[in-house]
Structure 1
Amino acid sequence: MFRRNSYGVDGRNAPVTRTILIAGAHGQVGQHITEQLGESEHTARAMVRDDSQTDEVADLGGEPVVADLTADVDHAVEGCDVIIFAAGSGGEDVYGVDRDGAINLIDAASEAGVDRFVMLSSTGADDPEAGPDALEDYLTAKAEADEYLRQSGLDYTIVRPGELTNDSGVGTIEIGEDIGLDAGDIPREDVARTLVATLDYDALIGETFEILSGDEPIGEALEWFCSQ
C-alpha cells in the first residue's frame, strides 16, 4: 500500500491545486475544514443549507454554495475534484441526512466524475448494535452510508473519529483500524486537519481508519498507516 511518487518517498502526492467541496461547511468540523482549506492553495467550496450561512463560511475563506443534501446537489458538485463529507443532522434526522443525504451526494459525485470522496464517519460504525442504544440509529446510518460509498466506485477514504470535543487542536493523533467506540476523544479541529491531510496520500484511497487524540503528528501517523 505504501507508494513512492514524485513528491518523495513518504507516500505523499505531488502538490496539486483542487476544487474541494465541503458538505456541512457550516457545521463545527466543517468550519475548521473550510478555514484550513481557505488558507491553502485549494479552492474551498463551502456547501451550506441556506443563504443565512453564506457570510460566515465566506469569512473563513470558503466560496459559498447553497444546496440541500436531501434535494438537488448537482450544481454544488459541478466542477469539483474532491468532496469532503462533514455534514450531520445533530441527531434530529440521522437517516435523512447522515445516510440518505450522504448517498445523494455520493450519487451526484459519481455522475459528475469527482476524483475523490472523503467521508467523516464515527468509531462504532463497524458494529452499531454493540454501541449504546441512544447511538444505534446514528451509527447504523453512518455504517450504511460508509458501505454505499465503498460500493460506489469512487476513490474514497473513510475517517472514523472518537468522541468529538471543542478543545483546541494540537495536531497529533492515534490511528488504527479497530480502536473502538469508547476508547477516547479528539478535538474537532484535529479531525478536520486529518480529513484534509488524507488528500496528500493516494495510498489512503480505499481505506477506512479510526482516530483519537494521540502523540503522533498527523502527517507521520498517516504515513505510518500507509506503510502497514
Structure 2
Amino acid sequence: MKPWLIFGGGHGVGAHLLALANQPADPLSSPRSVTLLIRNPQQAEALRSQGFSVVCGDACDPASVLEACRLAGPEAAIISTLGSRSADYQGNRLIIDTAEQLGLKRMLLVTSIGCGESWPTLSSAARAAFGQAVREKSLAESWLQTSGLIYTLVRPGGLLDSPATGHAIRLQTEAHGMVTRADVAMHLSQMIEDPATYYQIYALVEPGLTRKK
C-alpha cells in the first residue's frame, strides 16, 4: 500500500480519512504508513501514541512541511484537506513546491464547489459569504495543475458532519448540493491509487441530501 502524507488530519475530512487509514481492504496486509503534520502539540502526541508518524508544526512553515515530506518519503501520496485563510493558498503552495523539490509525485487536493472554472455557478450570496476562500483555493488548484505532480482535485459541496451514507457521487459537470465529510474521506481513499482519477477534477455531492434543521 502506498504511504499517505496527510495535511489537515487533525479535524474534518482529514480526521475521517485518518480513521480509514488503517482499515485496509485486505486484513492480512501490513498497516499503512501514515505521516501527518499537526499544529496542536497535545493532538500530535495523541496521534503518535496511535502509531502514526507525526510532525508537530504549521502547514505555512517551510521547515515543518519539509520535515513532514522527508519523513513520509518520495513514494507517499499527499492528501491536503487544509482549510484556513492562511493555508488555502500559501500552505498548499508550500506543500506542492516542497513535494516537487523532494520527488513526491502524487497529490489529492480538497477544495470546494465554486473553485476554478466552476466560479460562475456560485450564487452572489455564496460569493459574498465565502468567495474569498474559494478564490484562495482556486489559486492552490492552479498551482497544483501547473506543477509536475500527478494531481486530483476534489470539490465537495456543503459539508455535513453526519455519518457516511455511501451515496455521494463524483461529477465532472456543474454540481450543487451537500455531502458528508465521512463520504468525502471515503472517496479520497478510493482515488489515491486509482489511475483513472489522475489529472481529473471532481465535484462531490450526494443528490437529495439536505442539512437537518
Q: Is the 8 A contact 1:26 1:53 kept in 2?
A: yes
2:22 is aligned to 38
Q: Indicate the residue corresponding to 2:140 in structure 1.
A: 145
Q: After superposition, what is the alpha-carbon deviation per residue over 1:142-189, rounded to whole angstroms, capped at 9, x for unaligned?
A: 111001100011101011110000010022222211233xx2101100
- Give deviations 1:52-100, integer Å, cap 9, x for gaps: 21144346663222121111211101115110001111xxxx2x21111
- Match status 1:82 vs 2:69: no
Unaligned runs of 5+ in 1: 1-16, 216-228
CA contact under 8 A between 1:34 and 1:46: conserved in structure 2? Answer: no
Aligned length: 192
Structure 1 counterpart of 2:98, which letter?
A: A
Residue 96 of structure 2 is matched in structure 1 by 106
Structure 2 CA distance, aligned partners of 1:195 and 1:61?
21
Label 1:84 to 1:172 Cα distance change in 2 as closer, same or farther (>3 A).
same
Structure 2 CA distance for partners of 1:60 and 1:197, relative to 1, 3 Å: farther
SS at match of 1:118: strand
Selected match of 2:43 from 31, 53, 57: 53
**What is the alpha-carbon distance in structure 2 between the residues aligned to residue 31 and residue 98 of structure 1?**
17
Q: Which residue of 2 aligns with 1:71?
A: 61
CA distance in 1 between counterparts of 2:49 and 2:207 reads 31
Cα distance in 1, alignment partners of residues 17 and 47 from structure 2: 10
- Say whether residues 1:188 and 2:178 are aligned partners: no
The 2-side partners of 1:121 and 1:26 are apart by 17
Q: Give the conservation status (yes or no) of the 8 Å contact 2:38–2:56.
A: yes
SS at match of 2:155: strand
Mean Cα deviation higher: 166-175 or 99-108: 166-175
CA distance in 2, matches of 1:128, 1:141: 12
The answer to whether the 8 A contact 1:168-1:187 is kept is yes
- In structure 1, the residue matched to 2:5 is 21
Distance (whole Å) between structure 2 residues aligned to residue 113 and residue 31 of structure 1: 26
Tell me the SS of whatever aligns to 2:131.
helix
Gaps of 5+ in 2: 25-30, 209-213
Report the TM-score when normalising by structure 2.
0.83
Structure 1 position 120, deviation (Å): 0.5
Instruction: Please say if residues 122 and 159 of structure 1, whose CA atoms lie closer than 8 Å, have aligned partners that are also in contact.
Output: yes
Query: Identity of paired residues, percent?
Result: 26
Contact 2:79/2:108 (<8 A) preserved: yes
State the Cα RMSD in Å: 1.9
Deviates more, 1:127-136 or 1:185-194: 127-136
Query: How far apart are residue 136 of structure 1 and its match?
Result: 0.9
Most deviating of 21-30 and 34-43: 34-43
- 1:205 maps to which of 198, 202, 209: 198
